[in-house]
Amino acid sequence: MLELEARAEPSRLMSWASPLLAVVLMLAGGMLVFSALGKDPAEGFRVFFINPVKDLYAVSELLLKATPLMLCAIGLAIGFRANVWNIGAEGQFMLGAVAATGVALHFEGSESGLLLPAMIVAGAAGGAAWAAIPALLRTRFNANEILVSLMLVYVAQLFVSWLVFGPWKDPDGFNFPQTKMFGEAALMPMVLEGTRLHLGFLIALAALVAGYAFMNRSYAGFRMRVAGEAADAARYAGFSAHRMIWVGLLLGGAAAGLAGMGEVAGPMGQLTDKIGSGYGFAAIIVAFVGRLNAFGILLASLLMALLYIGGEQAQQYLNLPSSISMVFQGMLLFFLLGSDVFIHYRLRLRRRAAPGR
Amino acid sequence: MTGRPTPATPPAATPRLVLKGISKVYPTVVANDQVDLAVQAGEIRAVLGENGAGKSTLMKIIYGVTRPSAGQIWWEGEAVEVENPAHARSLGIGMVFQHFSLFETLTVVENVALALPGKPALDALARRITAVSERYGLPVDPRRPIHALSVGERQRVEIIRCLLQNPRLLIMDEPTSVLTPQAVRKLFETLRQLAAEGCAILYISHKLDEIQELCHAATVLRGGKVTGECIPAQETPASMARLMIGKDLPHCEHGAAKTDGELRLRLAGLSHASDDPFGTDLKDIHLDVRAGEIVGIAGVSGNGQQELLRAISGEEPLSEKFPVQICGVEAGRLSPGQRRKLGLAFVPEERLGRGAVPGMALADNALLTAAHSQHMVAGGFLRFGRARDFAQRCIEAFNVKCGGPGAAAKSLSGGNLQKFIVGREILQVPKLLVCAQPTWGVDVGAAAFIRQALIDLRDRGCAVLVISEELDELFEICDRIAVIAKGRLSPTRPASETTVEDIGVWMSGLWPGAEASEPQPPTTRAESPNA
């Protein structure tokens, strides 16, 4: 008889092997899904997982897709480590995009080299400001930040819609819900000639490094880890709980806002009502698949981007529904949670009943 | 079995419980190794041993919480396999745990109801609880939720829960650590009465004098093995200690205190209403602690100790500055970190989760309170080398048994973690150390070590305030003693001029002048020790 036995201490090996195991199981599950839909599994695998990395351009698209996921996830991970549950990165992402767009539209036609840095600052500030609302309500009135930050996503979506259907609508845009296209000075420079991969990717990599340094090397990050693991110990040590909430939410909001800025000033070049494309929510999965750790988040964001693009490819080449990438995301999280059991438990063969009874 | 005559034990044909060759092997440790034990009806048998000797594991096996890896149990002459605690209770085994097994969000009566078969009516059960609690001098309100109870009150609930089931074998795991001396005596009377009625009692303890007073026989465990059996009445505490720890019991050196040291802590009329509806409000507390002395605060838990500690440490900041003065600074509104910079060090009652972060390494736990005093932070970044070095110093100076500075706090035994935490606070050379329950649940050897460390700290000119529920400990190390009861603090008395008896009386709120400050008819006192 098989049984689960508690380990004496959590397995370090399993905490790293578990995401890999989950990926393998997801692939296996995916093969079954392809077969069940009457597609050749080998062909499905090629389209879904090989096409997105088949040449330099494909890889650049993958990195482009991973950029906002990385930024949102590293910001969220800092808060999650301190048990600050910011679920509203999607809204902060949109407000970052709005703030950056506001700067771009206000200085329309400017050729100044300061325009882009100003938009970057505005993007981060916009996201942080949106995250400040749940922080304020939590610290002043003890309102649950999960609910407040989540509800603010829908407020942000409606705010964006109002802007692009109303005051910011491009007068020459045939009534489409979108702003004017940004000028050259308001667009992110490309880092790879002939692709759409822009400066935002380098910013995201820098954010990962900064996030790692903050969480693992700084005193402020240490305080947040203590608050997350043992709130009473943080109080005993004199670490302010309010400060953790502010830092966790503001950093998460700023990172999400930056990601939003990168979308409008990068591949989109304008603000539309489709700006919120789920990156903020997907980043929650990325943060956890990446073990709330900078290096893990790098890998997890690449994997998640692969699922997004693979799903698009499967639509184009295999006539599969667009929800196929959601199926893969769901399987990934499901298998991850299952594999995580083995961090704290191990499987053991148990013989029934001792002899002589 | 020694085979010696045991006059204190009533004769009995079939032992109520017999264990033969019980072993329990965990992945990393052998908790019990071929343990034999027998207890007769009407016998009070001590199971004696240090923390980690395997006492609690053995009791959990008897109570069906864990299964033995090998060995056999006979209950009243029949071989049994105790499946689970409900099975144990149906056999007639009751257990009072050392670590409480209560649901925090439920009330006292609901918790008791869960341990009883069927669905008892809560109102009637509440009345039975009140009756039992009055009979055994264990006051507790059946309708209060567990989370609002202090450690001592929770233990009372555990004891009452067991007594309600009229057990035929009662297992008591360190039951007296939170009781007043008078209440201990009352509990002993109860246990003797239960034994006289034919109940067998297994009494787990490391308090030798208690065992001598109460128990008919003793089984001594060390390192998971039985190292001997004895009749406590025929032994001395020293001879039992040798069986228990394998060497002589250490003693504390305690010289005379300075009386004219500089004032380090002054509580000047500290009053604070507790946020918790079931907490204790602090009322007009006055206390001075000077450099070079140890002041002890005795009291039954739940009388305001937690609130007082939080007010002094800064975990619960006050609205006014003057009531807490640390080294001459009015500190009532300062945060714990700011108070630490004034020279305060603090050892809390809970080690895991408050004094230390369970999942973090000792080096990281050193950062918790020593980050600034030991210069472990530079430019906002951590200096891991310094943290590791400091943790290593704590480990060496306080003889902490562990895997080094990288070992997780939760991997240490309670006594070793406490030594680490005390070491971390003491090695920062504080001007004032506040220490709560310094040796609660710590084995004798480690307890003596910690007490000696506190005395040495005093001799080096530190002011020390100790809050403890163990009177013996306070009398061993303190120069002056006060008592906290119902949120009020008694005047202090020099320890040499008072007795355990006097302090015991004070613990129920009856000290000279206490009535004057709050007139109350004496009949309303819940537990008058003079009764």
Distance CA A209, CA B228 (A): 61
Q: Is A240 exposed, middle or buried (0-12, 13-18, 19+ CB in 10 A)?
A: middle
User: Above 70 in pLDDT, residue B14?
Assistant: yes
Q: Which residues of B219-242 are buried (b: 16+ CB within 10 A; e: fewer)?
A: bbbbebbbbbbbbbeebeeeebbb
The pTM is what?
Answer: 0.78
pLDDT tens profile B412-460: 877 889 999 999 999 999 999 999 999 876 777 788 889 999 999 999 9
Q: Which residues of A101-117 are buried (b: 16+ CB within 10 A; e: fewer)?
A: bbbbbebeeeeeeebbe
A343 vs B contacts (CB less than 8 Å): none
Most confident of B141-150, B154-163, B285-294: B285-294
User: Above 70 in pLDDT, residue B99?
Assistant: no
Distance CA A134, CA B402 (A): 43
Give the range among A158-172, A183-197, B449-463, B499-513 with minimum mean pLDDT.
B499-513
Residue B209: predicted pLDDT? 81
Residue A138: band (very low, low, confident or very high) from pLDDT cuts 50, 70, 90: very high
Residue B519: predicted pLDDT? 40
Q: Count the helix, strand and coil residues of chain A and give each as a percent rounded to the nearest 5.
A: 70, 5, 25
Residue B23: predicted pLDDT? 92
User: Above 70 in pLDDT, residue B2?
Assistant: no
- Whether A128 and A89 have beta carbons less than 8 Å apart is answered as no
Among chain B residues, the shortest Cα distance to A229 is held by B357
Q: Nearest CA to CA, how far is A139 from chain B (Å)?
A: 16
pLDDT tens profile A3-22: 777 776 777 788 888 888 99
Q: Which residues have C-beta within 8 Å of that of residue A102, sequence separation ≥ 6?
A: A122
Question: In this structure, what DSSP letter does residue A50 have?
Answer: I
The pair phi, psi for residue A204, each rounded to 5°, is: -65, -40
Residue of B70, B354, B359 lying closest to A236 (CB–CB) = B354
CB contact under 8 A, A232 and B371: no
Most confident of A94-108, B111-125, B501-515: A94-108
A354 vs B contacts (CB less than 8 Å): 70
User: Above 70 in pLDDT, residue B231?
Assistant: yes
Among chain A residues, the shortest Cα distance to B26 is held by A8
Three-point CA angle B525, B526, B530, nearest 5°: 70
Residue located via tokens 């864990």: B66
**Chain B contact for A235 (CB, 8 A cutoff):** yes
pLDDT tens profile B32-79: 999 999 999 999 999 988 777 888 889 889 999 888 989 999 999 899
Sign of CA dihedral B147, B303, B487, A234: negative
Distance CA B471, CA B504 (A): 9
pLDDT tens profile A253-309: 999 999 999 999 999 999 999 998 889 999 998 998 888 999 999 999 999 999 889
* Of the candidates B59, B231, B98, the residue with the CA atom closest to the CA atom of residue B176: B98
- Whether B74 and B80 have beta carbons less than 8 Å apart is answered as yes
The pair phi, psi for residue B2, each rounded to 5°, is: -80, -30
Percentage of chain A exceeding pLDDT 70: 97
Domain map (residue ranges) of chain B:
17-92+167-245, 251-343+430-531, 354-429
CB contact under 8 A, B382 and A219: yes
pLDDT average, residue stretch B320-344: 93
CB contact under 8 A, A229 and B369: no
Residue B4: band (very low, low, confident or very high) from pLDDT cuts 50, 70, 90: very low
Q: Nearest CA to CA, how far is A82 from chain B (Å)?
A: 13
Residue of B337, B381, B411 lying closest to A218 (CB–CB) = B381
Residue A269: predicted pLDDT? 92
Q: Which residues have C-beta within 8 Å of that of residue B371, sequence separation ≥ 6?
A: A219, B377, B382, B387
Residue of B337, B348, B367 lying closest to A222 (CB–CB) = B367
Three-point CA angle B161, B164, B166, nearest 5°: 125
- Whether B439 and B380 have beta carbons less than 8 Å apart is answered as no
A213 vs B contacts (CB less than 8 Å): 381
- Whether A275 and A163 have beta carbons less than 8 Å apart is answered as no
Residue of B70, B354, B408 lying closest to A233 (CB–CB) = B354
Q: Nearest CA to CA, how far is B308 from chain A (Å)?
A: 14
* CATH topology for the B17-92+167-245 domain: Rossmann fold (3.40.50)
Q: Nearest CA to CA, how far is A351 from chain B (Å)?
A: 12
pLDDT average, residue stretch A330-340: 88
Q: Which two tokens stand for residue B477?
A: 């190390």
3-state secondary structure of B201: strand
Residue A350: band (very low, low, confident or very high) from pLDDT cuts 50, 70, 90: low
Residue B109: band (very low, low, confident or very high) from pLDDT cuts 50, 70, 90: very high
What Å distances lie between residue B325 and B286, B287, B319, B328, B467, CA to CA? Answer: 11, 10, 14, 6, 18
**Chain B contact for A222 (CB, 8 A cutoff):** yes
Residue B137: predicted pLDDT? 66
B20 vs A contacts (CB less than 8 Å): none
Distance CA B476, CA B479 (A): 9
B315 vs A contacts (CB less than 8 Å): 235-236
CB contact under 8 A, A238 and B335: yes
Q: Do domains B17-92+167-245 and B251-343+430-531 have the same CATH topology?
A: yes
Helix H segments across A264-323? 279-289, 294-318
Pairing of strands B169-173, B93-96: parallel
User: Above 90 in pLDDT, residue B471?
Assistant: no
Percentage of chain B exceeding pLDDT 70: 90
The pair phi, psi for residue A269, each rounded to 5°, is: 75, 5
Distance CA A135, CA A285 (A): 22
Residue of A219, A240, A354 lying closest to B377 (CB–CB) = A219
Residue B345: predicted pLDDT? 95
Distance CA A123, CA A207 (A): 14
User: Above 90 in pLDDT, residue A98?
Assistant: yes
Q: Which residues have C-beta within 8 Å of that of residue B409, sequence separation ≥ 6?
A: B352, B356, B357, B358, B359, B360, B361, B362, B365, B417, B420
pLDDT tens profile B237-286: 778 888 887 777 666 667 777 778 899 999 999 999 988 777 789 999 99
CATH number among 3.20.20.370, 3.40.50.300, 3.40.1690.10, 3.40.50.10950, domain B251-343+430-531: 3.40.50.300
CB contact under 8 A, B340 and A229: no
Report how many Cβ contacts below 8 Å link chain A to chain B.
70
Higher pLDDT, A245 or B135: A245
Q: Nearest CA to CA, how far is B498 from chain A (Å)?
A: 34
Residue A97: predicted pLDDT? 97
Distance CA B173, CA B186 (A): 17
Return the residue in B310, B340, B354, B377 with the most chain A beta carbons within 10 A, the one to mutate for interface testing: B354
User: Above 60 in pLDDT, residue A327?
Assistant: yes
**Residues present in chain B in total:** 531
Residue A219: predicted pLDDT? 95
Q: Which residues have C-beta within 8 Å of that of residue B51, sequence separation ≥ 6?
A: B206, B413, B414, B415, B441, B442, B443, B446
